[in-house]
Each structure stands twice: as structure tokens, then as C-alpha cells.
């Protein structure tokens, strides 16, 4: 992407202002800079930043990032740190815990891309995931510090000092999110899942053989095989209850140590914006359906963030991520027609369109 020549140079700044306002962040705990602000919710500081507008095939975008340094001064060996993180990243919501060996630190990172047509709902979504990020970091910091030989990255405001009492917004899990999570998954929408499958009928790069209220499965070319994307409305999160679980598995044969190293590398690259996909969730490891550990990306969208079209948006991001991982790990994006690949494997032909 290149910097855009636009009449709205403050697209990203508008997002920052809206997130700050919507989260009711107190000014005495806020620090501002050029296209960013940070704030202290209790012990940890969260930074929300916006890139200058850039042009992506005629669409003016701003990259918005929410990040929180959780553990500093890590003493453990890098190999030990990257072995710890997938254990907690397997329960990722909207952020990945990322290890930065150069600074001996761990941060939580989430990235979204906003343009004028998505500004309202995407900003609301990222703001909610940002407060969840900080809440989860506060509750998991001690465990991460203990496991990595580091210290909780406590921050003081340059003028207000240390915050002794947590911001009321950090109670959000025990109020809105927990209550909504006890309801049936709002994403269990047969029509929406069928619509995602229907969209693939016209695609040569992603395919689905159908969906129902329980979710949808999508396959994307990966090397000589296919990666597997699953949207599941029947798998609750251990802390947030019901919602939408999204999982991407790559068809790799790896050892657990190899999976840990690859997951750490991919989380760092996504945090830097390489995939160009909405970076909600985390790379970790999972078990391939035929057995054995493999590299996976997992995310969870809680019931509180439901709105029509969110599942489709998640599927787009996961397809883009699968293509990026294919190019990165195999040297190029596989340009085979996905339906031809499935025909070779399963004898599955592309579904006929209604016009046929």
C-alpha cells in the first residue's frame, strides 16, 4: 500500500478519537502522541495507534493497532518463551501474545484496517476488543511473567503516577461479555453460514461444500494440498462463553517445537502488518484431523460483538491469511483452481450456479 492522496487525511485520527471516547478513558491516565494515544487501565499501558491513510486498490485505508506490553525483562531462553505462548494463544480472542527477543518482552497485539464504509462498526469492534485485550492482559500477566522469568510490565503515567485502582471498564468481562456469553451463540445463523458457502461457488481460490447453523468449513489451496478454515458456533470460549470460534489449520507435518517457532514468527509478522488481514486472534498449534500437530490460527468473536455480516468478514480475513501463509511458507501463492484440487482429492465438483 502507498500513502493516499485523500481529502480525508484524518481517517485514522477519527478512529482514535472515537475509541478513546467510547471507552470513556480518563484524560489523567492518557498520554498522546502523533497518531497515537496510550492509557493506563491499572498496571499495564495500552497503546492505540493509526497509520496515515494509504491507498489499497483505490480504497483509502488506515491501519489501526492496539498493543499492550505485558511482560518485560524476560530472563528465560527464547526457545522456552516460544514454547509457553502457544499454550495461552490457543485461547486467543482478539489479540496474539507476541514475543520480541530484541526487547526481551511479550506484548498483546491486534490490528484492523478501517476505511470510510467500515469506520463506524469496525471502530466499535476494535474498541471492544481493545478493552478485552487489556482485561485479559491484566488477568494473565502474572502467569506469563512467572513462566518466562520476567516481570509484569507495570507502567506509571508521566504526571498522574501509578494507578492504584483499576478502571471500571476492566470489569467488562464480568458484566456485559459474561452475560451475553451465557446466551445461545448469536452467530448460529443458518442463512449467514449458507451465504458464506454460496459466495465460494463463484471463487477459484476458496471452496465450501455447504454450511448450517453450526458453522461452515472452507478450503484454500496450500502448496500441493489445502488448508482448512472452520467457523464454529458450537465451541464456546473458556472465559467468554458462546460466540464464534474461527480456526485455520495448515497441512504441515511439524514437531511441537517447530510449530512453536513458526507460530512465534508468524505472530510477529502479522503484528507488523505483513498479512494485510485483520489480525484478531493468534497463531499457535492444533491437531490436524488426520492426526499430528500442525500450525494453526485461532480467534474468537464473543456474542457481544455479533452483528449481521461479522462471520463473513471473519471468513474473508481467514482466507486472506491462508493465502499469505501459503506464499510465505511455500514461496508463492498456489494458483490452482480450488475446485480442481478438491475434485482430485474427493471427487467433489464445483456446485452449479442457479443460472446453470
The answer to whether 139 and 31 are in contact (CB under 8 A) is: no
Check residue 135 and give its pLDDT. 93
Same domain, 8 and 108: yes
Q: Which of 61-70, 82-91, 170-179, 219-228 has the lowest mean pLDDT?
A: 170-179
Tell me if 293 is assigned to some domain. yes
| Residue 248 lies in domain | 190-346
Same domain, 83 and 10: yes
Same domain, 325 and 263: yes
The domain that contains 239 carries what CATH number?
3.30.1460
- The contacts of residue 85 (CB under 8 Å, 6+ apart) are 97, 98, 99, 106, 260, 263, 264, 267, 284
Helix (H) or strand (E) holding 94: none
Same domain, 244 and 98: no
Same domain, 122 and 223: no
How many domains does the structure of the chain reveal? Answer: 2
Tell me if 28 is assigned to some domain. yes
Tell me if 55 is assigned to some domain. yes
Q: What is the mean pLDDT of residues 54-83?
A: 91
Cell of 179: 452475560
From CA 353, how far away is CA 218, in angstroms rounded?
18
Same domain, 341 and 194: yes
Same domain, 153 and 197: no
Check residue 171 and give its pLDDT. 83
Per DSSP (E only), the strands in 36-88 are 36-40, 45-50, 54-56, 59-72
Tell me if 239 is assigned to some domain. yes
Same domain, 209 and 329: yes
Give the model's confidence band at 217: pLDDT under 50 very low, under 70 low, under 90 confident, else very high: very high
Same domain, 196 and 88: no
Please give the mean pLDDT across all residues of the chain: 90
Tell me if 20 is assigned to some domain. yes
Give the model's confidence band at 8: pLDDT under 50 very low, under 70 low, under 90 confident, else very high: low
Burial class (CB in 10 A: 0-12, 13-18, 19+), 347: exposed
Q: Which of 134, 157, 180 finishes a domain?
A: 157
Tell me if 165 is assigned to some domain. no
pLDDT in tens, 232-255: 999 999 999 999 999 999 999 888
Same domain, 201 and 289: yes
Amino acid at each position: 500500500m502507498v500513502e493516499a492522496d485523500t481529502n480525508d487525511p484524518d481517517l485514522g485520527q477519527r478512529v482514535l478519537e472515537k475509541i478513546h471516547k467510547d471507552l470513556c478513558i480518563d484524560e489523567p491516565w492518557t498520554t498522546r502522541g502523533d497518531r497515537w494515544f496510550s492509557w493506563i487501565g491499572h498496571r499495564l499501558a495500552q497503546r492505540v495507534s493509526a497509520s496515515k491513510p494509504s491507498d489499497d486498490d483505490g480504497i483509502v485505508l488506515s491501519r489501526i493497532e492496539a498493543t499492550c506490553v505485558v511482560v518485560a525483562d524476560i530472563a528465560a531462553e527464547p526457545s522456552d518463551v516460544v514454547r509457553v505462548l502457544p499454550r495461552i494463544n490457543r485461547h486467543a480472542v482478539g489479540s496474539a501474545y507476541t514475543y520480541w527477543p530484541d526487547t526481551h518482552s511479550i506484548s498483546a497485539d491486534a490490528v484492523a484496517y478501517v476505511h470510510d464504509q467500515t469506520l463506524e462498526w469496525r471502530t466499535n469492534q476494535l474498541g471492544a476488543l481493545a478493552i478485552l485485550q487489556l482485561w485479559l492482559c491484566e488477568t494473565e500477566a502474572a502467569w506469563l511473567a512467572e513462566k518466562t522469568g520476567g516481570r509484569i510490565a507495570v507502567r506509571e503515567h508521566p504526571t498522574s503516577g501509578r494507578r492504584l485502582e483499576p478502571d471500571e471498564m476492566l470489569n467488562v468481562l464480568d458484566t456485559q461479555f459474561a452475560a451475553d456469553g451465557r446466551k445461545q451463540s448469536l452467530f448460529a445463523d443458518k442463512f449467514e453460514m449458507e451465504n458464506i458457502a454460496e459466495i465460494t461457488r463463484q471463487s477459484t481460490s476458496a471452496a465450501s461444500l455447504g454450511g448450517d447453523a453450526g458453522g461452515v468449513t472452507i478450503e484454500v489451496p496450500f502448496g500441493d494440498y489445502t488448508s482448512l478454515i472452520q467457523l464454529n458456533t458450537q465451541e464456546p470460549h473458556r472465559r467468554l462463553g458462546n460466540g464464534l470460534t474461527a480456526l485455520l489449520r495448515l497441512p504441515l507435518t511439524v514437531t511441537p517445537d517447530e510449530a512453536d517457532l513458526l507460530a512465534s514468527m508468524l505472530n510477529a509478522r502479522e503484528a507488523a502488518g505483513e498479512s494485510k488481514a485483520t489480525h484478531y486472534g493468534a497463531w499457535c498449534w492444533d491437531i490436524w484431523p488426520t492426526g499430528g500437530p500442525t500450525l494453526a490460527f485461532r480467534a474468537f468473536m464473543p456474542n457481544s460483538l455479533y452483528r449481521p455480516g461479522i462471520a463473513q468478514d471473519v471468513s474473508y480475513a481467514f482466507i486472506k491469511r491462508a493465502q499469505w501463509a501459503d506464499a510465505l511458507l511455500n514461496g508463492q501463492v498456489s494458483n490452482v483452481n480450488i475446485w480442481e484440487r478438491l475434485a482430485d482429492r474427493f471427487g467433489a465438483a464445483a456446485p452449479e450456479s442457479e443460472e446453470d
